[in-house]
């Protein structure tokens, strides 16, 4: 009976130690792939507006500035919007979009994790794929790139912030 008790206690102690062990790949205290944004104010928009922010561009009604926050832009909007910085456990991710005619024409990664050679390899592969998907989807509803889930999550977050700043969708 004594041996069984000692064996059971040592097994429980080993399991507790095993499940409480933190590896070097775990972030310091972070439980999700994306931590907090460092720029809680969101993205920024700089561009021109064709003069309409209403739902019917043929009426010419409204004197929107592109920053009104109401409605979605129509045919005349062009400019750039920079998304907020998404802090991930591997480093910051930030994107900038170029808008022309109310459509996203380009997406540029302003910041991606580059703390080591592996980060650079992953992002050299993943960022062009994420860019292509964002241009095709014209939204932040894009799939994660396998092997670059954390960067993909941060990319989506910053992209959505830029889209919101540009008042697209």
In angstroms, the Cα distances linking 3 to 13, 55, 66 are 15, 78, 76
The per-residue pLDDT for 45 is: 53
Q: How far is CA 132 from the centre of its chain?
A: 15
Residue ranges of domains in the chain, CATH in brackets: 32-165 (3.90.1010)
> Which pLDDT score is estimated for 62?
34
Q: What is the pLDDT of residues 75-103, one digit of tens each?
A: 457 888 888 998 988 899 999 999 888 88
In this prediction, residue 23 has a pLDDT band, given cuts at 50, 70 and 90, of low
Q: What is the pTM of this model?
A: 0.59
Residue 48: pLDDT over 50: yes
Residue 22 pLDDT: 66
Q: What is the pLDDT of residue 76?
A: 52
CA distance 92 to 105: 23
């Amino acid at each position: 009976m004594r041996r069984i008790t000692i064996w059971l206690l040592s097994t429980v102690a080993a399991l507790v130690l095993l499940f409480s062990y933190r590896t070097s790949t775990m972030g310091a205290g972070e439980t999700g792939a994306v931590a907090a944004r460092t720029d809680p104010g969101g993205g920024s928009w700089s561009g021109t507006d064709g003069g309409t922010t209403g739902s019917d561009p043929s009426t010419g009604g409204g004197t929107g500035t592109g920053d009104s926050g109401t409605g979605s832009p129509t045919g005349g909007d062009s400019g750039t919007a920079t998304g907020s910085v998404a802090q991930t456990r591997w480093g910051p991710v930030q994107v900038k979009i170029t808008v022309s005619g109310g459509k996203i024409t380009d997406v540029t990664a302003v910041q991606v994790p580059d703390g080591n050679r592996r980060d650079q390899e992953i992002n050299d592969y993943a960022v062009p794929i994420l860019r292509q998907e964002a241009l095709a989807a014209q939204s932040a509803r894009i799939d994660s790139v396998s092997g670059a889930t954390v960067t993909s999550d941060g990319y989506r977050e910053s992209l959505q912030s830029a889209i919101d700043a540009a008042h697209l969708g």
